[in-house]
Chains A and B, each alone.
Chain A
Amino acid sequence: MKRVALLALGLFATAVPLAVPGRLPAQEPLTDLVARCHPKVVKIYGAGGFRGLEHYQSGILISPQGHVLTAWSYVLDTDHLVVHLADGRRLEAKLLGADPRLEMAVLKLDGNDFPYFPLERVRLEPGAKVLALSNLYGVAVFDEPVSVQHGVVAARVPLRARRGAFETPYRGPVYILDAIVNNPGAAGGAIVDRQGRLVGMIGKELRNTLTNTWINYAIPIDQLIGTIEQIKQGKFVPRTEEAEQQARKPQDPVTLERLGIVLVPDVLPKTPPFVEEVRPGSPADRAGLLPDDLILFVNDRHLVQSCEALRKELSYIPWGDPVRLTIIRGQELRELELKTR
């Protein structure tokens, strides 16, 4: 009996890898592949819900500890981020870090043993078949599986086009897809290949302002892995409470007033730090800061998501040290150095 079982095992083992001429290599049924990927894509609920701004988007579980890769957007501008898992669990999420230059953010859920996509530097060539999994239009809630679409990689090209054609600071390569994947709520969703490997993240909806056409694209995972690792190591993250307590505050810190920056009125729990006014002749003025600039990072590594966070971050810098600000102006990213002496 045992021998029969062994024999059967042996048969199976040889049958799978051998490509007999005239026989097709066994491919996992698409339904199984989809079922395998479903639990690794989550629904994210945050800010928005008015004036045609959806309050939801999609996310990808990328570690068993609950790291979630998603798109950087206004949806994350809140302290109450909720993530719905495919098993029906509803969990609070924290924004771990973000890099607006890559239009990406990483959230963190509490817990262990989450289903996840391992991060691999998979690179697809044009013609590769892919699946897109996302919560487009917020169709799925709670335990309902997210939507899945099929498509083909049409090209891997820089999302450069003409300056101003696409309203995004992202300048790297993208996968252009033949499927309409960039729908409301789909940003942050997963593009997987026929083996179920994560190959890209669905980007935010982008319209070419010159031709008035919408583009279907995803940001390749190899463009994001480095930054994900940096965020996990503490770069591009808001200062944690722990770090706040440990850091020594200088006697004579930098302040917004001394830099000559007036921010927009801080009315929301997380008002994005937009510049309202720059005092003439101030360090900010001399460095070229302008009204309507949005401040993202202080000294390259500290993400400031709100006016309050920016104020706090400056208080750790002694007056006299230069202050490097990363800002978004229109759709362009700029680095400015403000001299305080």
Chain B
Amino acid sequence: MKTLCQALWLVLLMAASALPLAAQDVPPQVLQAEQQRIEVIHRARQATIAIFGRGGRGGGSGVIITPDGYALSNFHVTAGAGAAMKCGLPDGKVYDAVIVGVDPVGDVSLIKLLGRDDFPTAPLGDSDLVEPGQWCFAVGNPFLLATDFQPTVTFGIISGVHRYQYPAGTLLEYADCIQTDAAINPGNSGGPLFNMQGELIGINGRGSFEKRGRVNVGVGYAISINQIKNFLGYLRSGRIVDHAELGATVGTDPEGRVVVTDILESSDAYRRGLRYGDELVSFAGRPVTSTNMYKNILGTLPKGWRVPLSFRREGMQWDVLVRLRGAHREGELQERLTRRSRRRPAPPRRPQPGPEPKQPPGPKPKKPAKPKLPPAVAKYYEQRPGFANYYFNRLEQQRVQKLLDRLGGFSPVAESAWQFEGEQAGGLKTQLTLAPDRVELVLPGGTARLELEGDEPQLGQRLDPPGSGGLLAALYLWRRLLVHGVEKFGGMYYLGTVPLPGHRGLVDCLVGLHGGVETRAYVDPQSGRLLALEMFPDDDVDPCELVFDDYRKVGQRLVPHRLEVRHGDDVYQVFKWQKITLP
């Protein structure tokens, strides 16, 4: 009895001492800040998903970024799952999801959750504003703990920014990444890293592990969201996307400058004047302060982008635009991925947190002979070489076609000869005829003519007028795109979003193969205007660039009244049309 009394007293005492501590000693600002944090974390959790492959195999995390279900994860998470996967949301519901696009070099994949158009989303932040010492938190599914899909939140600080982590071979390169001491464990892969405003600043994917086993040692890395923004349009294209190469290698000279140590003569950088020994000053708008910084910048750029490059030679600075080549040969990535999936798991040189290899004990799942997709997913999937899922490329093609349709539709004038009258630089009179069977440009010095025979005339060797890089052929391809549209142009697919000189933000880019040459068309995603078209007669040759401007109505249709033609480093000609007839 006595002991019971004592125990009661003790409980009472404890209760009495606990109460005022909560009520008085904590300043209201602290409680308010805590409440704010709780709310931010609550919102951030809603958009975090757990990803599982077929039969619950593998797994990792992801984060939803659009209400219609586009979600980011790691390539090394979704690679094991194949085309279809299951995603668990914190509300406990499971959704089917399908692969959209993959970036094996950057270790990013884009998937789409199916079945809703009001998914909770995470807002994208600006990872260039992230600083060491800032608080941050990671959300995900470490060790696949959450069987009810309630994600785990780990809290920490930013340990470093602009980190470079070497790839395994040529894949899974973490360039310009964010380092955090928030616990990143296997299963966190693909999950979001948030700042304290609840904005997505990175995708967690990797940690430094060594002797302590595959668990967090306070050193985790996230792919910066700004890198992913560069690739998002590419990923939405449903392709297996590649990273960029400049075509040159760089090193640090004894004075600490970053200089070109080797350069491919076939590269655009070489054609733009970059040579052995030149000092790099800035690249893609960022200063090149060290070789690591150069690798950081390069690692965030997609193949095929055209970016500014500044270099110095003998006290002179040169500012040029360079087109970036792929880090891999055409088709090489696809080959590697197929090989990988055949003889996996191939451990990368540095271990990463990833799909949990552990499986619950039980009957071993049989290897499916042929990937069979759940019916809900099957209609969102289309296999095609070079693509993770061609269905989504078709989707983007249709979207861009709808944009182009806003120009008014050119199929009713498909059979007629289009007439352009105006002047070129210096006020000289010029006339252009664009007919189904010929292109004719009347210049003061003479007439240039391109006769077009058959369904697919070969254009690669017909680059008149001289010095233009193939203006007549490019004009023919322009008319062809307007008349036939994306679907019937010939071998046309959606590349993604790219920067365009003189244009703010990214624009949609289509790539077509017709007449033995490659065509690139650039479309403003807001106005739907065709901004530019390029014709590449061959690999490693400067294209003929048509830049369209001054769109005005001609009847029901919007037609550009200014045409600038560029080739190499020069502007070939500027045409201003005063009269355009599309009979």
Contacts and interface: CB of A to CB of B under 8 A. Distances in A.
Given A139-B163, A147-B159, A149-B181, A179 B133 contact: no
Interface string B290-302: 1010000000000
A235 B179 CA distance: 40
A316 to B, nearest CB: 40
A23 B28 CA distance: 9
Contacts of B158: 148
B506 interface: no
Interface string A143-186: 11111111000000000000000000000000000011101100
Tell me if B's interface is mostly helix, strand, loop or mixed. loop
A269 interface: no
Contact of B131 (A22, A23, A31, A88): A31
Interface in B183-224: 208, 210-212, 216-219
B292 A181 contact: no
A78 B102 CA distance: 47
Given A145-B132, A148-B132, A183 B27 contact: no
Tell me if A's interface is mostly helix, strand, loop or mixed. loop
Contact of A179 (B163, B208, B211, B218): B218
A43 interface: no
A7 interface: no
A145 B256 CA distance: 17
A74 interface: no
Nearest to A36: B133
B218 A149 contact: yes
Nearest to B165: A139
B16 interface: no
Contacts of B156: 149-150
Interface string B155-169: 011111011010000
Given A142-B292, A147-B159, A214-B212, A179 B134 contact: no
B29 interface: yes
Interface string B561-579: 0000000000000000000
B219 A183 contact: yes
B143 interface: no
Contacts of B4: none
B253 to A, nearest CB: 13
B346 interface: no
A77 to B, nearest CB: 22
Interface string A3-35: 000000000000000000011100001111111
A21 to B, nearest CB: 9
Contact of B27 (A24, A33, A88): A24
B436 to A, nearest CB: 60
B21 interface: no
A253 B289 CA distance: 56
A151 to B, nearest CB: 8
Nearest to B133: A34
A146 B219 CA distance: 12
A91 interface: no
B39 to A, nearest CB: 20
Nearest to A136: B219
Question: What 7 A-B pairs are tightest by C-beta distance, nearest first?
Answer: A34-B133, A180-B218, A31-B133, A30-B133, A149-B181, A147-B159, A137-B208
Interface of B: 27-30, 131-135, 156-160, 162-163, 165, 179, 181, 208, 210-212, 216-219, 256, 289-290, 292
19 contacts: A23-B29, A24-B27, A31-B134, A32-B133, A35-B131, A88-B289, A137-B210, A139-B219, A147-B159, A147-B179, A147-B219, A148-B132, A148-B133, A179-B218, A180-B181, A183-B217, A183-B218, A205-B211, A214-B211
